[in-house]
Every structure is written in C-alpha cells, then in structure tokens.
Amino acid sequence: MRLKTEIKTKKTTQEWISGKIGVPFGTFRKWLTRRTYPNLREGVEIAKLLDTSAEYLVTGFEREGLNDAERKLIIAYRKLSPANRENAMLAMNAWAGKK
C-alpha cells in the first residue's frame, strides 16, 4: 500500500516507474498486489525515483531512533494531500518562529 500511496502522492505512474527500472509492467503490478516482491536493487531504485527510502517502503519508517510520537507524526503527514502538507509545513514553521 505504501508504494501505491507514494506513487499517487508523487503524481507519477506505475508504468513510468516500471519503465525507469527496466521491469515489465506486469511484474511491477505483481509487486503492487504483493504476489511477488522486487529484489533489493529494484526496491532501492524505486525508492530513489519516489524520493523516499527503501526502509520506508518496507516498514513505514524512515529512520531508527524516532520515538512513537515522531513516527505517528510522519505517518499522519504522509496521509495528507499535497496542499495540506504545505499548510502543515507553514503552520509548523510559524509555530517554530520561522518565516
């Protein structure tokens, strides 16, 4: 599900990603439906194309060392629409005293 969500959030297509990493679209669809999985190299390439980490695509978390509140904040942020993400960043920057 994270892969589908990231593709939608980044406003790209499944076809574009499968073409960029050089796998048939049918193979990519099997990954999306969890019938098969990409190898490590393919997973890392997908993450780079989506400007995220392979760790996030697999686990839902980007870095070790985050506490539960930080993880929940990241998860909630990722569920926002692009416009709401921008509004959230504006609010956080205002709260932190940045312009």
Task: Parse the chain into domains and list their residue ranges.
Answer: 1-64, 65-99
Q: What is the CATH number of domain 1-64?
A: 1.10.260.40
pTM for this model (two decimals): 0.61
Q: Could you tell me which of 4, 27, 7, 3 has the C-alpha nearest to residue 16?
A: 7
Q: How far is CA 68 from CA 72, 73, 75, in A?
A: 6, 9, 10
Query: Which pLDDT does position 20 carry in this prediction?
Result: 96
pLDDT (tens place) for every residue of the chain, 99 residues total:
688 888 988 889 999 999 999 999 999 999 998 899 999 999 999 999 998 888 888 887 766 667 778 878 888 888 889 889 899 989 988 888 765
Query: Which pLDDT does position 63 carry in this prediction?
Result: 62
DSSP assignments along 40-84, one per residue:
HHHHHHHHHHTTS-HHHHHHS---TT--HHHHHHHHHHHHS-HHH
CA–CA separation, 69 vs 12, rounded Å? 30
Query: Which pLDDT does position 23 carry in this prediction?
Result: 96
Q: Could you tell me which of 4, 5, 11 has the C-alpha nearest to residue 75?
A: 5
Query: Which pLDDT does position 31 carry in this prediction?
Result: 92
